[in-house]
């Protein structure tokens, strides 16, 4: 005999929703999905997705946990919004090691994905902070300050990515932030112009009626409409310089 309650699709659906709520998965209002299906609402009309897009312009190649922690939202919620942004063509994703990282489309050179990803990891950032205040520290000095077990591997990876430079002095190796990062940052000038053009096109195509308010050497300001409210997206167009300035 068939258990009608067990096979009731409405009951299964309500149980699924209860489970998603229990793990912190926040679903959008039904009205938002209906508007989107009719083409009346942009992907970026959602405030959470605007915040994620803005964060990825400031911190390109961030991973899911970093995004969720930075914006104080649950990881399932962040992942849901990221899927929407990727599907709409605003954001790309790429595997770096065992982590999936996200960045605005056209914003990052493929060769720099791993480099940007390291700026969002805890240990590399701490190393950069120490070298910003005290250039030329040896590995022993850094280990004494940070007491991290994976330090040697991390330093090698940062050097291979062109983030760190070294000078040998006897039996000691001294570490510095690579000055070549600024040269690489300058190379982004043409890329950022292309990013600006393509992003404005995507915003327009998605029904946002974007307005370029200001374009400077190091950032652009784009006004977009969110319902009846205007929002301002500030996008830093010198990514390496901006990340280094935050250390």
User: Mean of the per-residue pLDDT values for the chain?
Assistant: 85
Q: What is the pLDDT of residues 58-81, one digit of tens each?
A: 999 999 999 999 999 999 999 999
pLDDT > 60? residue 183: yes
pLDDT > 50? residue 2: no
Alpha-carbon distance values, 172 to 137, 138, 148, 162, 178 (Å) = 10, 7, 19, 20, 18
- 91, 82 contact by CB (below 8 A): yes
Q: What is the pLDDT of residue 36?
A: 43
Percentage of residues in the chain having pLDDT higher than 70: 83
Structural domains for the chain: 121-178 (1.10.10.10), 187-245 (no CATH)
- Of the two residues 168 and 40, the one the predictor is more confident about is 168
Q: What is the pLDDT of residues 129-151, one digit of tens each?
A: 999 999 999 999 999 999 777 89
pLDDT > 80? residue 175: yes
Q: What is the Cα Rg of the chain in Å?
A: 22
Distance CA 247, CA 242 (A): 9
Percentage of residues in the chain having pLDDT higher than 90: 61
Q: What is the pLDDT of residue 41?
A: 62
Q: What is the pLDDT of residue 209?
A: 85
Q: What is the pLDDT of residue 64?
A: 96
pLDDT > 50? residue 240: yes
Distance CA 172, CA 240 (A): 28
Name which of 40, 42, 56 is nearest 233 in CA terms. 56
List the single range of 24-38, 42-56, 202-216, 230-244 with lowest mean pLDDT.
Answer: 24-38
Binned at pLDDT 50, 70 and 90, residue 213 comes out as very high
H or E stretch covering 224? strand 219-226
């Amino acid at each position: 005999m068939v258990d009608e309650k067990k096979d009731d699709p409405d009951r299964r659906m309500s149980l699924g929703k209860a489970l998603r709520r229990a793990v912190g998965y926040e679903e959008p209002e039904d009205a938002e999905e209906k508007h989107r299906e009719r083409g009346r609402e942009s992907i970026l009309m959602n405030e959470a997705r605007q915040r994620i897009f803005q964060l990825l312009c400031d911190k390109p190649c961030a991973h899911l946990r970093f995004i969720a922690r930075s914006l104080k939202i649950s990881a399932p919620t962040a992942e849901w919004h990221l899927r929407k942004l990727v599907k709409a063509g605003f954001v790309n994703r790429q595997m770096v090691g065992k982590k999936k990282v996200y960045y605005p489309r056209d914003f990052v050179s493929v060769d720099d994905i791993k480099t940007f990803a390291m700026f969002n990891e805890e240990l590399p950032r701490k190393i950069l902070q120490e070298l910003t205040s005290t250039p030329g520290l040896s590995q022993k000095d850094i280990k004494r300050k940070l007491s991290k077990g994976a330090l040697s591997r991390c330093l090698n990876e940062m050097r291979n990515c062109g983030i760190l430079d070294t000078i040998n002095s006897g039996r000691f190796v001294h570490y510095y932030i690579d000055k070549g990062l600024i040269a690489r940052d300058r190379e982004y000038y043409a890329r950022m112009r292309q990013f600006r053009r393509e992003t404005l096109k995507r915003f327009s195509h998605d029904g946002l009626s974007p307005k370029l308010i200001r374009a400077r050497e190091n950032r652009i300001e784009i006004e977009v409409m969110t319902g009846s409210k205007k929002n301002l997206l500030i996008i830093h167009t010198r990514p390496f310089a901006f990340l280094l300035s935050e250390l």
